[in-house]
Structures are given as C-alpha cells and as structure tokens.
Chain A
Amino acid sequence: MADVKKIATRMGYGAALKELGALHDNIVVFDADLAGSTQTATFAKAFPHRHFNCGIAEGNMMAVAAGAATMGMVAFASSFAMFAAGRAYEQVRNSIGYTRLNVKIGASHGGISVGEDGASHQCLEDYALMRSIPGMVVMSPADEVEARAMVKAAYEHEGPVYMRFGRSPVPVFHDEATFHFEIGKGEVMREGTDIAIIANGLLVAEALEAGELLAAQGVEARIINMATVKPLDEALVLKAAEECGRILTCEEHSVIGGLGDAVCSLLSEKRPTPVRRIGTPDVFGHSGPAAELLRQFGLCGPCIAQTALEFVRG
C-alpha cells in the first residue's frame, strides 16, 4: 500500500467536527490542553466561541461536558485515550454513562503506535474500560474517511459514545463517495472462507495486507473491519464463524477486554468456534518508533499472516 495516501484518523476527527460545527449550533467541544494533538484546534479555529480548553484537568472536563449536555448541547470531549478513558474513567462512568448524556468522547493517540512517549501514554486498555460501562458505544475507525463518518454518526446517536483515534498516519482505503458508516455494523473488506480475520483501527490495513500474503499461499481469508467494538455486530461474527470455522481477531489493544474478548464471549455462548487473538499480551509497552513497536508486538501484516497460516494449517 506504499502508493496509498496516508492520514492519521485523528485528522478526520478534527475535520468532521468542523463540518458538523457549521451545520449544528448545539455542538460544543472541550479539550484538555491537547487541542493541537487531538485536532479539536481545527474546530476551535472555525468556532472559537464553542471550543473550551479545560486545561490539564480531564476529570473536570468530562463532568463539565456532561453538564453542558444536560442543557441540550452535544458535547465532544477530547484528550489522549490514556487520560480520556483512563484518568477520567470514573467521571465518564458516573457523569456521562450513568446519566446517558449526549457526550461524545474523542480519544486520540490510542494504542501502542503513540510510539516514543512510551508505556505511560500507550493506552491499551481503553476498549476494556469503556466496554464495561453500560450503554457506552465504543468505536475506532480504520482510516480517515471512516473517522469522519464515525464522528457524524456519533453526533446523530443519542447517548454516550467513545471513539478512539490514532496518532500515526494510516492508509486511506475507503472511498468517501460510496462509503456508508453505521454504528454497530461491521464491514467485510475481503471475501474468503478459510479463516475470518476481524480487525479494527490501524490493524485493518495490516489485515488487508495479510489477506494478500495469505492468498499467495493459497489461503482465502475473509477480512472484516469491526470499527464498532460495542455494540458488536453479532450477526456478522456468527456468520463468519459458521462460514469460515476459524476467527482471528486483531486489535491495537491488550488481548484482555477488547475486541478479541468481545468476539470470544459471543462465540463461546452462541457458536463455539476456535479463536486466536492478536493484541498486546499482559505487559506494558515501551518507547520506540510506532512501526517498529507494531512489528515487535506482532501487530503487522506479515505477523498476522503468519499467525493465520499456523492457525489454518494447525
């Protein structure tokens, strides 16, 4: 995919906020001294009177956003995933989740691809934390086109939403003219019945590469982009289990509590099927360039292809 345009999904977040801001007066955006990084600065430039920097105080920001939402505003609250889902977990749970308020959390710099900042900033637990909050929608886009569509869908959705965006540029493979996004619906990116690879975030591009590598080895993999971790597209997972017989999940998240666990929970109850999970194991990350870290943790096309091949050939 070397010739494909690469854009970080967080850019899509900023662009979509600006588009939405022009259409809807009831949007307010909050940030916690990371507006340049989360891309809410794009919105701030266009609508300065509706963008509020909360300073380095994420817990306060989340509950402020909740308060604004009680007044009929649709509040977007942004920080790095580590601080949005981690530091402010309890504010998100009690002031946003329990209240079912219209707050949309835009969490950028999720996963290990934050890179050089190291383990303290590499949030690999946000799906687990956010999934466990009743009613919370949890999503992560695979590319910039999907990111923009997701933010618009989040605006239309009534209730709390958590969206994770990435720091690093990733290939844009969706065609904006034809792409349609729906919360809770997975997307089959490639057909195949030897194995189903269910991925999200930047691992969708890697899974697509794995699909090509596997095809060269005579293995036809179905590649599914599961942008919505919760609510999970159960029908699509069950269909893949039935038709492919093996599921490989891929996520830039701990194997504990994320997409892989969501798929396993569903299958173990409704259609027991062999599953392997690619994600970070029960360890913290460390500093390094994003691409090298992804390779080191097995979160890359060739690594996925190798695991899939071993899985298929037993």
Chain B
Amino acid sequence: MTAKEKRALEISACKVRMGVIEGTYAAKSGHPGGSLSSADLFTYLYFKELNIDPAQPDKPDRDRFVLSKGHCAPGLYAALALRGFFPWEDLKTLRHIGSHLQGHPNMRSTPGVDMSTGSLGQGVSAACGMALAAKLQGNPCRVYTLLGDGEIEEGQVWEAFMFAHHYKLDNLRVIIDNNGLQIDGPVEQVMSSYPILDKLAAFGFETVEIDGHDFDALEGAFARAKTVKEKPFAILMRTTKGKGVSFMEDQVGWHGKAPNQEQYEIAMAELKAKLAELEAD
C-alpha cells in the first residue's frame, strides 16, 4: 500500500472513531471500548478489502461481513456511514426509538448489515453458513467475521470453528479482536481464552497474529488469506481497547458506557486534533 493510501485509511479510521463517540454519546449508552479497538479493522474492511457497493448493498456477489461481537455496532455503523451506506447524521440516532441503528446490528433495518447479531457466538456460525452456501452456489464472495476475545469463551464459537475446518471453508476469514478486556475485567482473570492462536491452529485454521492497528499488517494478513486453500483462515489482532481516546484506552470500564458531555468534548477534541494532524501532512 502506498503512503498516500495508508494516510487515507488513517484519516477514515479517525473519522470512524469520531462516529463511535458521536453515536454512543447521543445514545447515552453503547459500547465504545471494543468499537474503538476494532475501528482500524472496520476501516480497512470497508475502504480497502471488501467487495461492496453502497449503492447496491444487497448485490449477490458482495463480500459478507458478520459482526459476531455485535455490541461493537457503533464502530460498524460509523464505517458503513462513512462509506456511504447511509447518512452520517444517522449515527446520532443510535439506539433511539424509530432509528434503523439498533443497539446491536439488525440486517432487516440497516443497509450494509449482512446478519443480525448481538448474542455472542452466533455470528461466527452464521458466517460459516454463508461461506458454505457461497461454495455451493459458486458465488466467489468471501465471508469475514469479527469476534471478541471474550466472546470466544462461548462454546458455540468452537462448534463453528470445527465446522469451518470440517467443510474446508477457505472463503471464510475469522478475525479476533484481542483487546484483552471483557465486561468483568481482563480476559485472563475472568476466563482465559488463551492461548488463542494455538487453539485456532489445533482446530485446523491457518493463523496469523498481527497488530490490529497497523494497516500494513492488516493488508499482509488478508493477502495471505487469499493464498490459503482447503482450510479456514484466522487473524488474531492484538489491539488496545478504547484505542484513540486517551482516557478510554485499556480501561475495562469503557466496555459498555457512554461518555458524558465533558468526556465527549475531550474525546472529540482529541480526535479532531488527530484528524487535523493527519490531514495537514
């Protein structure tokens, strides 16, 4: 990727983070922490990786994305809005009565959302079903799904991983956002899901571990995924929960809490300064 492309992605990611803050602030609830740790991935997917067209959100050969960790909807919504699936202003209706932006993704209400999720562990299974059907239909699309490192404590996730390997779903990309924190505390203390990479390998995945905030690393991982045949591919992303907003970074308390007005203003000022810095270069 060129330096210019990378800068454009960094600018988009900063805007996605602003969307997360706008949305959760307007909703007075929601999940900024994981949305921010995944913001670079959302940006990379919707601005670089996925074969999608905001003008035709239902086109049959589009790549699919399933947000298995559905609570990070504010991040997904911000990326979709920035990419043109719906107006940016809609983000301020997040979680409001009458809004198409439900607390967790709803495929029936929001353009660009491929699967309704929110109950942890189910999205990855649905992604497997999509990948399986795509193979059956000769549909060249790829299916991407993002899980949390806490989410993989759900047994169903491992049922799905077993399925993905058994049916050789090489059109599936499983991404795990390893920000290390879940609602009740550090993953290591609540219920360790480690060693994640070893477990994925044991389940038959081709795996790679990367810095989830590094666009070059994301590009390398997704490029490698294309070379893998007959087995599913998994990316373990090391990330920082709350990334990009200083007081939210690595703080478990920001898993599912909205900023108040003062916090909102500080967060937006930080992100605006970052954006100005990126755009000035």
Contact residues of A with B, CB < 8 Å? 28, 49-50, 52, 54-55, 57, 59-73, 75, 90-91, 94-95, 98-100
Contact residues of B between 161 and 194, Cβ < 8 Å to A: 162-163, 166-167
Complexed CA–CA distance, A69 and B64 (Å): 13
Q: Which A residues lie within 8 Å of B72 (CB)?
A: none
Contact A67 B162 (CB under 8 A): no
B98-121 interface (Cβ within 8 A of A): 106-108, 114-116, 118-119, 121
A73 to B147 CA separation, bound complex (whole angstroms)? 25
How far is the CB of B224 from the nearest CB of chain A, in Å? 24
Q: Which of B115, B118, B119 contacts A70 (CB 8 A)?
A: B115
List 6 A-B residue pairs with CB atoms under 8 Å apart, sorted by A's residue number: A60-B125, A60-B159, A63-B126, A63-B160, A67-B129, A67-B132
CB distance from B63 to the nearest CB of A (A): 12
Q: Are B156 and A66 in contact (CB under 8 A)?
A: no
A49, A67, A90: the one within 8 Å of B126 (CB): A67
Bound state CA distance, A46 and B131, in angstroms? 23
Q: Please give, as numbers and ranges, the residues of chain A lying within 8 Å of B156 by CB-CB distance.
A: 57, 59-60, 63, 91
| Chain B residues within an 8 Å CB radius of A100 | 108
Residues from chain A with a CB closer than 8 A to the CB of B159 are: 54-55, 57, 59-60
The answer for the CA separation of A55 and B125 in the assembled complex, in Å, is 13
List the B side residues contacting A52 at CB < 8 Å.
132, 167
Closest 7 A/B residue pairs (Cβ): A67-B129, A63-B125, A67-B126, A60-B159, A71-B133, A57-B159, A64-B129
A95 touches B133 (CB 8 A): no
Q: A65-B129, A67-B130, A71-B130 are in contact. Are A94 and B122 (CB under 8 A)?
A: yes
Chain B residues in 8 Å Cβ range of A67: 66, 115, 125-133
Chain B: interface residue total (CB-CB under 8 A): 35
B268 at the interface (CB under 8 A from A): no
Contacts A63-B125, A91-B122 given: A68-B130 contact, CB under 8 Å?
A: yes
Closest Cβ–Cβ distance, residue A79 to chain B (whole Å): 13
**A68 to chain B: which residues have CB within 8 Å?**
129-130, 132-133
Which of B116, B121, B136, B160 meets A99, CB within 8 Å?
B116
Residue pair B129, A66 in contact (C-beta under 8 Å): yes
Residue of A nearest to B160 (CB): A60
Q: Which residues of A contact B136 (CB under 8 A)?
A: 28, 49-50, 73
On chain A, the residues within 8 Å of B134 by CB distance are: 71
Asked if A75 and B116 make an inter-chain contact with CB atoms under 8 angstroms apart, the answer reads: no
B139 at the interface (CB under 8 A from A): yes
Contact between A64 and B126, CB atoms less than 8 A apart: yes
Q: Which A residues lie within 8 Å of B227 (CB)?
A: none
| Alpha-carbon distance between A50 and B205 when the two chains are bound, in angstroms | 24
- Determine whether the beta carbon of A95 is less than 8 Å from that of B125: yes
Residue of B nearest to A64 (CB): B129
Residues of B within 8 A of A57 (CB): 156, 159, 162-163
- Distance A15 CA – B160 CA, assembled complex (angstroms): 29
Given A64-B163, A70-B130 in contact, is the A99-B115 Cβ separation under 8 Å?
yes
Chain A residue contacts of B108, Cβ below 8 A: 99-100
* Residues of B contacting A69 in the complex (Cβ-Cβ under 8 angstroms): 129
Known: A55-B162, A71-B139. A63 touches B129 (CB 8 A): yes
User: B133 contacts A54, CB within 8 Å?
Assistant: no
**Residue pair A54, B115 in contact (C-beta under 8 Å):** no
Give chain A nearest CB distance to B165 CB in angstroms.
Answer: 11
Cβ B132 vs Cβ A70 within 8 A: no
- The answer on a CB contact under 8 Å between A64 and B107 is no
Q: Which residue of B lies closest to A62 (CB)?
A: B125
- Sample of 11 more A-B contacts, CB < 8 Å, known A28-B136, A60-B156, A98-B106: A49-B136, A55-B162, A59-B125, A59-B159, A61-B125, A63-B123, A64-B126, A71-B130, A73-B133, A73-B137, A95-B119
Select which of B119, B131, B162 is within 8 A of A94 by beta carbon: B119
Q: Whole-angstrom distance between the alpha carbons of A63 and B126 in the complex?
A: 5
